Amino acid sequence: MITVYSLFWSIINCCLMAFVIFLLRTRTMLISKYGTAVLRFLILCCIIRILLPVEFPEHQYILADNFLYSWIVKHFKIVLHPDFKSLLLTFLIIVWICGSLFSGCRLLLKSRKVQKIIRDNACVEFTRAKEILETIEPDCPLPVRLCSGISVPVLAGYLHPAIYFPEYPYSDEELRYVLFHEHAHWKRKDIWKKLIMNIICILVWWNPAVYIIRRELSQLLEFRCDKTLAKDLDDFEIVGYLNLLMVSYERAKNPLIKTNLYTIEFVNTGKQYTIMQRFDLLLDRHTVTSHRLLPQMVIVLLALLWMFCSYYFIWQTNYYASEREIQTEDVLRQPVVESSNNDNAYLQEQVDGSYIFHFRSHALEVSKEDVEAGLYEYYPVIEYEKDKNIFFEFVDQIKEYINIFFIKEDD
């Protein structure tokens, strides 16, 4: 089931895992030696954990915290108030749906804007590039066009994809590099992977880890295509490809339009450290170790162990029961989860001198002796005399005089 605690625990675990993925992805030597397969598996595990923020109360071990977590939750204790708990799930569902609708509409509008700009900027067939593409794959159905509204080459379109080039004087060799790269993206269905990741961001917009994972996935897609291209290039051609990457990087720093969320760009970021990492991986393309199975298996097993622990353990608050906490007959075998105080409970005096103790929706008979002994001195009392008429008040006065008289006689 999904609870407030399971949502918090999911955010904590996914953010930690996303941070680990970021650290591993920025270690160029690790990717050079062991490839990107392990990182893709870690991203898959994190996505599964993001999409399933559930808990299993009967099969979990609770990490009870009465210090940090309890102190944090204490400032948001209204969500745990009994009167609010019945509406909490409905409230969270409404917020969840509204946030997803807003994120979806925002993404759709920006995507339509990009499509409109590409469509309206004099896109024409790029015959020279199309001929080079046919040398890579004969009878390739992928159109190649020129577009004045973009800064770097992109692969765009889901049902009718095409490669778009900016109006820039590329040489035939540079065109071949770009076409080889974007053709690899098209063959691997990378644009659909980015779409699925965007849909996940819409569905789970409240989890900050999804945005980190989306960015890391984008980088891994580029690394894989660079690796595929580098297998067929010699050292001289690698230098030419790196020079083209640098030129495209300079153009990407001042884009005419931002399309990286909806297309596959030749250079998908303006951040220097990511383009430098692509350089390093291409220059170290021959450093892949032949003994990488064991390290990969260790990382995979650690990821699976993390997945298991993230569901088996759950972090919750812990409070000590006070003297005023009560249990009704319906919850005698359960731990006390609600405490009574002078704001949510009171005593109501009855005609026979006994009392009814009211707490939430529960009512409990209490003897007059218990009240006079001070066991309920913390609670306000609604006296019966306030609701009596004159006749019953007169009768009670007579009874009181008779009791006083007999007490004196006994003395």
Band (pLDDT 50/70/90 cuts) for residue 99 is very high
Buried b (16+ CB within 10 A) or exposed e, 19-55: eebeebbeebebbbbbbbebbbebbebbbebbeebeb
In this predicted structure, the answer to whether residue 332 has a pLDDT above a threshold of 50 is no
pLDDT digit string (tens) for 204-242? 998 899 999 998 898 888 888 888 888 878 888 888 888
β pairing state of 154-156 and 162-165: antiparallel
Q: In one letter, which amino acid is 176?
A: R
Distance CA(195)–CA(141), nearest Å, equals: 21
Residues 261-299: tens digit of each pLDDT: 677 888 876 567 778 888 888 877 655 555 677 888 888
Residue 356 has pLDDT above 80, yes or no: yes
Residue 281: the pLDDT is 84
Q: How confident is the model at residue 18 (pLDDT cuts 50, 70, 90)?
A: very high
The pLDDT score that the predictor gives to residue 136 is 87
- Residue 269: the pLDDT is 63
| Confidence band, pLDDT 50/70/90 cuts, at residue 123 | confident
pLDDT in tens, 143-155: 998 887 788 888 8
